[in-house]
Structure 1
Amino acid sequence: ERFMDSQLMINSSYLPYVLSQMGNNDNKSYLNPIRTNETNPTIVMFTTIAGLTGVVITLALILIITSSMEVIRRSYFEVFWFTHHLFILFFIGLVLHGVGRIVRGQTLESVKVHNPDECHSQFETWGKNGTNCPEPVFAGNPPMTWKWVVGPMILYVCERLVRFYRSQQKVVITKVVMHPSKTLELQMKKKGFKMEVGQYVFIQCPSISQLEWHPFTLTSAPEEDHLSVHIRIVGDWTQALYTACGGDKTVVLDAWTLPKVAVDGPFGTASEDVFRYEVVMLVGAGIGVTPFASVLKSVWYKHVQENKNVFTKKIYFYWLCPETQAFEWFADLLQSLERQMMERDMSDFLSYNIYLTRWKDAEAAHFRVQYEAEDDPITGLKQKTLYGKPNWDNEFSAIATQHPGSKVGVFLCGPMALATALGKQCISHTESGTEFIFNKENF
């Protein structure tokens, strides 16, 4: 609009108009890319490279940002996934945006003989005899965006090629377990696969979608001869995988009827650092307990194998769950660990607290009747389930008292609200002498 206003201004006493009229003759440079009075902003927008690419990259960016909202990301993941691939269109438009050289300026040679600070007020005498201000010369800079984009794009293409190569590697599903809380456990084997605790992989199922890759935390330990993931059925893709694996069937599937899957990874998370601390707090919320399944399994294997390199001496484990059904698959692991640690007289190594944050009246009555039983009525563990939410201030104070002067690694896999609360607790209780170091991953 400023270019157009300057071109249409019928007043030779204004500098913008004078600059717009320069370059009308042949072999002369110009500053204003609009060279005619027969124009309007819409024509410029859709008949110039800068205008067209500007519209494309703006629309792409608007779609990418709006589809990133949590309500879209959680309820319509496919919309979020596919819309984000408009970044390819965005970067192509960004690279081409300056090809027309619509933004122009005075050349370096011209600046040496025509100083804009001194000559801008003498525009009526530019180029005339006796003046120190010859007519300025203008040119457009060549597009430079590609220099900043080409490096990341090469890295991205390399990553996609690696993912394609990994997707062609054979993955065998060795076991499928349908847990009561509609959580699907897949145990798989892949040649040459190596992992660390707390890592995650991307999984693709071609029979469901050729393009979609979804991240899942590994629940197996590095010491095991297979990799496993626990997948909670919460969306279209997970429901389709659940059905493909026989989740809605009563017949037993054999290996030939299981869907083909591809695995890319593993990829690192903050949980990898868990063994760097002598004292560790593990906090999982709901399905966010999955990375700690790998951690607890690995710790146990290291102690069974009498690994002298295990630096971790004490683990405090907290699991917050909104419903009793979600306890079922992970309680089996805790029961096994509890039993084996008692046999080895290692009961003090792992302290765990399980919190039920929501319950029904009928369930509460049952829990009250069964509370005096030796084992917990929900999990079957010796440690009784707690109701409500933890008092984090009391928990951090107790750990700081038990381990004065220690560095305590706090690891969370859960929602942002819980991360904010724990982050504040780590800061406030570090002053007491025990240093709490916060590590998080959010879902």
Structure 2
Amino acid sequence: MQLFYNNSKIVSGLCSRYFTVNKPKAEFGLRQMRGLLVNDVPKYFVILVWLLINGLLFGVTWQKYNREKTYFYTRAVLGNTLTISRSAAACLNFNCMLILLPVCRNLLSFVRGWAVCCPGRARRILDKNVTFHRLCAYMIVGLSLLHFYGHSYNVHRFSMSHNTKVDDAIDETDTKQSTKLLVKLVSIGNGDGETYLDPIRQPTYPIKSVFLLTGGWTGLIMIACLFFMVTSSTEFIRRSYFEVFWYVHHLFIVFFGFLIFHSIGKQVRGQTNVDKHDPEYCSKIDPYTGWENDRKCSTPPVFEGGMPITWVWIMAPIFIYICERILRFVRYLQPVKILKVVKHPSKVLEIQMRKTDFHAEVGQYIFIQCPKLSRLEWHPFTLTSAPEEDYFSVHIRIVGDWTSGLSEVLGADEYAEVQPSWKIPRVAVDGPFGTASEDVFDYDVALCVGAGIGVTPFASLLKSVFYKTVNESGPMRLRKVYFFWVCPDTHAFEWFGDMLMHLENQLAESGCRDLIEYNIYLTRGWTAGQAKAIFVHEEDQRDVITGLEQKTNFGRPNWDDIFSRIADMHTEREVGVFFCGAASLSKILHKMCNKHSSASKRVSFHYNKENF
């Protein structure tokens, strides 16, 4: 009982000293308009423009097929579903053109470098490439369903028209005159030298008709590809079965292949001789008794399908993507020398490498492939080395089949033998690719927040800040870095703490101790023994868990107080907030940036989140 009492007292003391409760407030007032303009308006502006272009394409195409005389007879057979299917098709072409561009990483890196003179808020739009890719995908799915519905009804009308007699009506909306016109129009093309309006030239079932049309069976294949790609892209599949997501997502090759040939059959046909045969006038006359005796209708209508234009929309993005894959293959052939493999605690693998003509900036990431494990799989990892170092490195958390296999083949597995350098299998590296962290030196103050393994981008950043300060490589706008590391348990300290301790010693020796202020928060995972040791050694110079001079905080940070303090200390400054970690914490930080950006203090928090 005494032991239980002592431990309870220790834990209670820790709670009273260190625990803080994070209660971010979501109230937005006029004083937060500065943050909204900086962090939210640019991305919403892009989305608004994208939606307006989609709406404009849909509206213009609707008007074309709903008003032009060229498609008067086509409308007479199909009704409004003609305009629905064609308007959706126009928007599909636009979004299929866009969806490949956000995943062309070399293109994005080039644009980021080319736009270095643009404001940071404009460049940060590039960091939303994955989000925009998903938006385009959702739009394509919705438009495909609308397009599918329209053409399903069109095929039904075309098919059933062959079984309709002059005195019958195909549905309740048809009158006797419209039925006569319908039967006449679908029969045109049976004579010698006549062109046809109805691409289905024989009576058949609607379902069978789908497979008789090029647009029908190719459309079904594309719908199936979309279904599997979307369902395999859910967060659960991506996190638990990444290989399934990766392989299934390559059905986009099949999708785009059939998309090019989807409209080659020219199934949607319009009249080309409206000057010799006025469809609006002739539709009011009995087509069997009146057309031959009327000068305006005696010339039979001539029909022709429109030229396929989908390839015009998508060939440029496909060409760019092919260039991306060729560049990846070239980089795959370039040799990579593995200098060191270190197995850190908490199942973290460090790989130090060197490659000819490899130049990276702060916080960039690379793709790694190990042919011995798979010749198709490439996995992204953030660089943890600084640009000033003569090698580049990554820290990989072993959580899946591929990372476990990599640890084993590199000789870092718990039961594997240490491999000599000549036995280490070859790895290929693609990149580096740009991220938001590149802009850290464009701010007066930087607030860097890493959650768990999300701390990796800031290893490169902190080391580079130190090197630039010590080496005095040129004027640097950045004057202060606040670094926050939020850890779920004590094991995470074991691999990153060494780097922080080394950096802490270097800052002290060089007299730059005030350049970087770092704060470590442990949210859970300490034992009663650790709690007792923390309480006993509270007055020690170094922290009992990490060994750092900066003491560990327990609980979650009070972001409201932290942002308020930084805003008061750095008035008339631009603060760059950089985050890598869970989406839940990202939302909190985003709100804090908007809330504490103040026009009166002339301070603005620019939110940047790592996305790759």
Tell me the equivalent position of 2:605. 436
Q: Which has the higher mean CA deviation after the structures are superposed, 409-418 or 73-82?
A: 409-418
Native 8 Å contact 1:171 1:262 kept in 2: yes
Where 1:195 maps in the other structure, the secondary structure is: coil
Tell me the equivalent position of 2:593. 426
1:172-199 Cα deviation digits (max 9, x unpaired)? 1000110011100000010111110011
Native 8 Å contact 1:186 1:230 kept in 2: yes
Q: Would you say 1:401 and 2:568 are equivalent positions? A: yes
Q: Would you say 1:279 and 2:445 are equivalent positions? A: yes
* CA–CA separation in structure 2 for the residues paired with 1:215 and 1:94: 30
* CA–CA separation in structure 2 for the residues paired with 1:385 and 1:120: 84
Identity score, percent: 53
- The within-5 A match list for 1:32-431 is 32-37=198-203, 39-107=204-272, 110-122=273-285, 124=287, 127-133=291-297, 134-246=299-411, 247-249=413-415, 251-362=417-528, 363-431=530-598
Q: Would you say 1:9 and 2:172 are equivalent positions? A: no
- Deviation (angstroms), 1:360: 4.4
- Deviation (angstroms), 1:30: 1.3
Native 8 Å contact 2:408 2:416 kept in 1: no
Native 8 Å contact 1:197 1:272 kept in 2: yes
Matched residue type, 2:302: V
1:129-152 Cα deviation digits (max 9, x unpaired)? 235345322111122212222211
Where 1:79 maps in the other structure, the secondary structure is: helix
Q: TM-score, normalised by structure 1?
A: 0.95
* CA–CA separation in structure 2 for the residues paired with 1:182 and 1:299: 28
In structure 2, relative to structure 1, the CA distance for the partners of 1:366 and 1:104 (3 Å cut) is farther
Uncovered stretches (5+) of structure 2, i.e. residues with no partner:
1-155, 168-175
- Deviation (angstroms), 1:345: 2.5
In structure 2, relative to structure 1, the CA distance for the partners of 1:412 and 1:120 (3 Å cut) is farther
Tell me the equivalent position of 2:79. none
In structure 2, relative to structure 1, the CA distance for the partners of 1:393 and 1:22 (3 Å cut) is same
* CA–CA separation in structure 1 for the residues paired with 2:572 and 2:286: 74
Tell me the equivalent position of 2:101. none
* CA–CA separation in structure 1 for the residues paired with 2:258 and 2:536: 67
* CA–CA separation in structure 2 for the residues paired with 1:43 and 1:282: 61
Where 1:184 maps in the other structure, the secondary structure is: strand
Native 8 Å contact 1:416 1:442 kept in 2: no
Tell me the equivalent position of 2:92. none
- Deviation (angstroms), 1:99: 1.6
1:227-253 Cα deviation digits (max 9, x unpaired)? 100001111110100111122236432
Q: Which has the higher mean CA deviation after the structures are superposed, 2-11 or 97-106?
A: 2-11
Name the one with the larger helix percent.
Answer: 2
Q: Would you say 1:23 and 2:168 are equivalent positions? A: no
* CA–CA separation in structure 2 for the residues paired with 1:117 and 1:367: 89
In structure 2, relative to structure 1, the CA distance for the partners of 1:131 and 1:74 (3 Å cut) is same
Where 1:8 maps in the other structure, the secondary structure is: coil
Matched residue type, 1:435: S
Matched residue type, 2:348: T
Q: Which has the higher mean CA deviation after the structures are superposed, 279-288 or 115-124?
A: 115-124
* CA–CA separation in structure 2 for the residues paired with 1:334 and 1:429: 29
Matched residue type, 1:57: M
Matched residue type, 1:434: V
Q: TM-score, normalised by structure 2?
A: 0.69
For CA contacts below 8 A with separation 6 or more, give which structure has more relative contact order.
2
Native 8 Å contact 1:414 1:442 kept in 2: no
Uncovered stretches (5+) of structure 1, i.e. residues with no partner:
none
- Deviation (angstroms), 1:366: 4.2
- Deviation (angstroms), 1:350: 0.8
Native 8 Å contact 2:278 2:296 kept in 1: no
* CA–CA separation in structure 2 for the residues paired with 1:364 and 1:117: 88
* CA–CA separation in structure 2 for the residues paired with 1:314 and 1:360: 31
* CA–CA separation in structure 1 for the residues paired with 2:342 and 2:201: 71
1:154-177 Cα deviation digits (max 9, x unpaired)? 111111111111111110100011
Where 2:285 maps in the other structure, the secondary structure is: helix
- Deviation (angstroms), 1:279: 0.4
* CA–CA separation in structure 2 for the residues paired with 1:393 and 1:344: 33
Where 2:230 maps in the other structure, the secondary structure is: helix
* CA–CA separation in structure 1 for the residues paired with 2:562 and 2:283: 70
* CA–CA separation in structure 2 for the residues paired with 1:130 and 1:10: 24
* CA–CA separation in structure 1 for the residues paired with 2:416 and 2:165: 84
* CA–CA separation in structure 2 for the residues paired with 1:252 and 1:236: 20
* CA–CA separation in structure 2 for the residues paired with 1:181 and 1:196: 27
- Deviation (angstroms), 1:123: 5.4
Q: Which has the higher mean CA deviation after the structures are superposed, 44-53 or 273-282?
A: 44-53
1:98-126 Cα deviation digits (max 9, x unpaired)? 1211121222xx22334444443335366
Matched residue type, 1:249: Y
Matched residue type, 2:560: D
* CA–CA separation in structure 1 for the residues paired with 2:304 and 2:268: 9
Native 8 Å contact 2:489 2:526 kept in 1: no
Native 8 Å contact 1:18 1:123 kept in 2: no
Matched residue type, 1:23: G
Name the one with the larger strand percent.
Answer: 1
Could you say what the CA RMSD is over the residues aligned between the two structures, in angstroms? 1.8
